[in-house]
Amino acid sequence: MTKDKEREVFEMSTEEKRLSTFKKWPYGSDTSINKEKMAAAGFYYIGNKKEPDLVRCFVCLKELDGWEVEDDPWEEHKNHASYCQFIHLNKAECEITFEEMHDLEMYRQINMATKVLTKKIKEFEKQAANTREVLQTLA
Ligand SMILES: [Zn+2]
Average pLDDT over residues 116-123: 96
How far is the centre of ligand 1, averaged over its atoms, from the C-alpha of 30 (Å)? 24
* Parallel/antiparallel/unpaired status of strands 55-57 and 43-45: antiparallel
- Select from 25, 58, 53, 61 the least CA-distant residue to 40: 58
Each residue's pLDDT tens digit, 77-107: 999 999 999 999 999 999 999 999 999 999 9
How far is the centre of ligand 1, averaged over its atoms, from the C-alpha of 133 (Å)? 39
Q: What pTM does this model have?
A: 0.84
CB distance 37 to 73 below 8 Å: yes
How far is the centre of ligand 1, averaged over its atoms, from the C-alpha of 123 (Å)? 25
Does residue 50 carry a pLDDT above 80?
yes
How far is the centre of ligand 1, averaged over its atoms, from the C-alpha of 8 (Å)? 17
Does residue 33 carry a pLDDT above 60?
yes
- Select from 92, 93, 74, 88 the least CA-distant residue to 34: 74
CB-count exposure of residue 77 (10 Å: 0-12, 13-18, 19+) = buried
Does residue 3 carry a pLDDT above 80?
no
pLDDT confidence bin for 6, thresholds 50/70/90: low
**Domains located in the chain, CATH noted:** 3-138 (1.10.1170.10)
